[in-house]
Amino acid sequence: MGATRVRDDATLSVAWTTKAGSPVPRLAGTSTTRKEPPRIMFGVHSFLGLFSRDIGIDLGTANTLVHVRDRGIVISEPSVVAMEAKTKRVLAVGAEAKRMVGRTPASIIAVRPLRDGVISDFDVTQQMIAYFVRKVHDRIGMVPRPRMLIGIPSGVTEVEKRAVRDAAMNAGARWAGLIEEPMAAAIGAGLPINEPTGSMIVDIGGGTTEVAVISLGGIVISRSIRVGGDEMDTDIVAYARREYNLFLGERSAEDIKISIGSASPGEWDTQRVTLRGRDLLTGLPRSVEVGGEQIREAIEPSVALIVETIKDTIEETPPELIADIMDQGIVLAGGGALLQGLDHRVAEATQMPVHVANDPLTCVVRGTGVVLEELDIMEEVLVADTYARPPR
């Protein structure tokens, strides 16, 4: 049997011919290792790459941001796709699709293809990425084949990582790299990640909260929980149902959280907002006026879990790095960092200085842009993948 298999391998180990009459190179030996694609394909990708722009993507549960090399952030839109229910044909993506949430007829569905920071609908995510790629290259007539760098949560599985990479490749990327979101957020926030000092970043997104301590270009310790802005919206919906028998939409809950949500007492407690929804007893529309204190009570479970995760991470951090963090402070990034009073709440719980990063919403995507510009010297911060092709 062994001799027969060797003969078969020798027969099969013939490389492609690039054109008629050219010499046919053969693979060395009789190994059955995976063959490389034809070199002409590399040439096509490289040629199309001349007309493509390197893209960094923060593929978030709530919002997707796109950074284009030498141009900065060009897209910041909700991660929502509207499509026909029967044919799955995409009708709208981003802000236009979000306006349809909760208002669509039976023939149209508006979906969020990412949940808790990972892909929940592969095909829709692929179409959403392809839409953003086309939008970036709208002035270029040729088929775009960009290099992509995508931020992912630090606690995802290998299967979830592969799903993100495959979605990017199927959407037209000629190379797709992954970077952990806390690392990208630290780079975008301007932290000295390559120095022999400890830096602590807390990235609070829509679906996940990432806490990481970074030193010498690597993550020393990290924690990831699937609690973020979306969970706070759910808390507000549950609070309205529990306290006022009022059925509130998630989008209305998000607007209320942004307007008067807080994590600690302050001057914002005097603000008032009106909850508008359906009365669960009568089935008729009803409105209730609430203050900042009630909304803080509503989102307290999620805020407490985030603060507890930060404290748990500090407990596991080596003492030398703790001393560095006490000097530099904890940096908050992501949309959740904009929650009023959260920095005071974390500072009180950890007894450390806490700073909110400049423009916290864009920290991750700005970090991907920095890495793409200096990919040769910052390649070690990427998520390792055995099957990835090297960037071209």
Q: Which of 21-35, 152-166, 331-345 has the lowest mean pLDDT?
A: 21-35
Per the prediction, the chain carries an average pLDDT of 84
Q: Are strands 114-115 and 118-119 parallel, antiparallel or unpaired?
A: antiparallel
Q: Pick the range with the lowest mean pLDDT from 4-18, 40-54, 328-342.
A: 4-18
- Distance spanning both ends of the chain, measured CA to CA: 42
Higher pLDDT, 149 or 140: 149
pLDDT digits (tens, 9 = 90+) for 168-204: 999 888 899 999 999 999 999 999 999 999 999 999 9
pLDDT at 268: 86
The answer to whether residue 28 scores a pLDDT higher than 80 is: no
* Tokens 């929804």, located at residue: 277
Q: What is the reported pLDDT for 50?
A: 52
**Considering the chain, what percentage of its residues have pLDDT values greater than 90?**
58
Confidence of residue 381 (pLDDT cuts 50, 70, 90): confident
Confidence band for 68, pLDDT divided at 50, 70 and 90: very high
Whether 349 shows a pLDDT value over 90: the answer reads yes
Q: How many angstroms separate the Cα of 351 from the Cα of each of 162, 321, 348?
A: 39, 15, 5
Which pLDDT belongs to residue 47? 47
Whether the pLDDT of residue 16 is over 70: the answer is no
CATH number attached to the domain at 229-300: 3.90.640.10
What is the model's pTM? 0.80
Q: How far apart are CA 104 and CA 39, in angstroms?
A: 48
Instruction: Please tell us whether the domain made up of 195-227+304-361 is placed in CATH 3.20.20.80.
Output: no
Q: Given a cut of 60, is residue 157 above it in pLDDT?
A: yes
Give domain limits for the chain: 49-78+118-183+365-381, 195-227+304-361, 229-300
As a whole number, mean pLDDT of residues 286-312 equals 95
Identical topology for domains 49-78+118-183+365-381 and 195-227+304-361: yes
Residue 79: pLDDT over 60: yes
Instruction: Please tell me what DSSP assigns to residue 94.
Output: T
- Residues 47 and 56: their CA atoms lie apart, in Å, by 20
| Total length of the chain | 392
The DSSP-derived string for 301-338 is HHHHHHHHHHHHHHHTS-HHHHHHHHHH-EEEESGGGG
What is the C-alpha separation between 241 and 243, in angstroms, rounded? 6
C-beta atoms surrounding 148 within 10 Å: 30
pLDDT band at 327 (very low <50, low <70, confident <90, very high): very high
- Backbone Cα Rg of the chain: 25
Q: β-strand 246-247 against 114-115: which pairing, if any?
A: unpaired
- Strands 199-204 and 209-215, by their bridges, are antiparallel
Out of 3.40.50.150, 3.30.360.10, 3.40.50.720, 3.30.420.40, the CATH code matching 49-78+118-183+365-381 is 3.30.420.40
